[in-house]
C-alpha cells in the first residue's frame, strides 16, 4: 500500500483527530460476575475512534471500538497481573493483524494503533476512491466467571476491512486464583481421552447430530479422522464452556460452535477443584 514515510504522516494526522475521541474513558464498574470472597473484580475501560465524517451519507467510514475489562481487586496480585497481561496482549496482537506491512507493529498503545487503523483506511480510500464499504473493528474483553478458585475471560473480535465477509473470533481463558496459572486441557485432567469423549458428546448435541453420525460426512474437519479438543475453553459456573471459531472445525458457512459440558459430565475427569 503506502511507503513508510507516508503512512507515518497519516498516522500523525489521524492521531490529532483522535485526541478527543479515542482517549480511554473513565473506568466504569462492570456487572457482578463474581461469587464468594477472594474473587477478582473488574472495571471497564473503552477506546473508541472513528474517521471524520462518519455518519455522513456517501462518506467512507472506519470505526474502532475496544472494551477492555481491567482487574481492580480481589484474588492475588499475580493473578490480576496475569489477567491484565493476557488481555492486553490479545487485544494488541489482534489490532496489529489489521495493519498492513509494519505499521503499528512497534507500539502497544491502543490510541496509536487506533490512529494507524484509521490512517490505513484513509490511505485505502485515497487509492481506491470507488470503494464504498465501511471498515470496522470491535473488540471486547469481558469477565465471564470469577470465584475464589478461578477467573475466566471471554475475549472476542468482530471486524471487516474488505473481502467477502466479516470475520469473528472468540477466545475463552481461565486462570487459577491460587498462583494465577493459565489453565490448559493438560492442567484439567490426566485422562484426555475421557475429557475428549464428553466434549464430543456435547459438541454433537450443540450441532444436533446423533451420537453415531459421521462428523466428516456432516461437513466437519477432524485431525487424522479423530475429534480433538480445541485450545479454547473456559471454566464457568455450570461446567466447561468450549468454543470452536469458524474455520477451526468447519467452513465459514457453518459458523462457530459453542458447547457447554456440565459439571456432572466432568466428575472423575477434571482433577482440579474448580467448582
Output the domain CATH number for residue 78.
Answer: 3.30.565.40
> What is the percentage of the chain residues whose pLDDT exceeds 90?
73
| pLDDT tens-place string over residues 12-61 | 333 333 333 444 444 444 544 655 558 999 999 999 999 998 988 888 89
| pLDDT tens-place string over residues 99-117 | 876 666 777 789 999 999 9
pTM: 0.86
Same domain, 226 and 143: no
| Residue 74 placed within a domain | yes
Cell output for 78: 499475580
Q: Tally the domains of the chain.
A: 2
Same domain, 169 and 249: no
Instruction: Provide the pLDDT for residue 118.
Output: 94
Give the end of a domain, one of 151, 176, 201. 176
| Residue 275 placed within a domain | no
> Does residue 251 or residue 31 have the better pLDDT?
251
Give the end of a domain, one of 158, 176, 194. 176
Instruction: Provide the pLDDT for residue 30.
Output: 52
Range of the domain at 251: 185-266
| Residue 272 placed within a domain | no
| Residue 140 placed within a domain | yes
Amino acid at each position: 500500500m503506502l511507503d513508510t514515510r507516508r503512512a507515518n504522516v497519516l498516522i500523525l494526522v489521524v492521531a490529532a483527530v483522535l485526541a478527543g475521541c479515542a482517549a480511554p474513558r473513565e473506568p466504569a464498574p462492570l456487572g457482578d460476575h463474581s461469587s464468594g470472597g477472594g474473587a477478582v473484580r473488574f472495571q471497564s475501560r473503552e477506546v473508541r475512534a472513528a474517521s471524520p465524517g462518519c455518519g455522513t451519507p456517501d462518506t467512507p467510514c472506519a470505526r474502532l471500538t475496544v472494551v477492555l475489562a481491567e482487574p481492580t481487586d480481589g484474588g492475588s496480585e499475580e493473578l490480576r497481573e496475569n489477567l491484565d497481561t493476557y488481555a492486553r496482549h490479545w487485544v494488541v496482537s489482534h489490532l496489529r493483524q489489521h495493519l498492513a506491512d509494519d505499521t503499528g507493529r512497534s507500539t502497544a498503545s491502543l490510541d496509536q494503533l487506533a490512529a494507524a487503523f484509521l490512517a490505513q483506511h484513509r490511505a485505502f480510500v485515497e487509492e481506491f476512491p470507488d470503494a464504498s464499504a465501511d471498515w470496522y473493528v470491535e473488540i471486547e474483553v469481558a469477565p465471564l466467571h470469577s470465584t475464589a478458585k478461578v477467573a475466566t475471560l471471554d475475549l472476542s473480535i468482530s471486524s471487516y476491512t474488505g473481502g467477502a465477509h466479516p470475520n469473528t473470533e472468540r477466545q475463552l481463558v481461565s486462570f487459577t486464583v491460587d498462583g494465577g496459572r493459565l489453565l490448559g486441557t493438560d492442567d484439567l485432567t490426566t485422562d484426555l481421552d475421557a475429557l475428549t469423549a464428553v466434549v464430543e458428546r456435547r459438541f454433537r448435541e450443540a450441532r444436533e447430530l446423533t451420537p453415531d453420525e459421521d462428523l466428516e460426512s456432516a461437513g466437519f474437519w477432524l485431525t487424522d479422522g479423530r475429534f480433538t479438543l480445541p485450545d479454547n475453553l473456559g471454566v464457568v459456573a455450570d461446567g466447561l464452556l468450549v468454543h470452536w471459531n469458524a474455520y477451526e472445525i468447519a467452513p465459514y458457512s457453518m459458523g462457530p460452535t459453542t458447547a457447554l459440558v456440565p459439571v456432572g459430565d466432568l466428575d472423575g475427569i477434571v482433577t482440579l477443584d474448580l467448582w
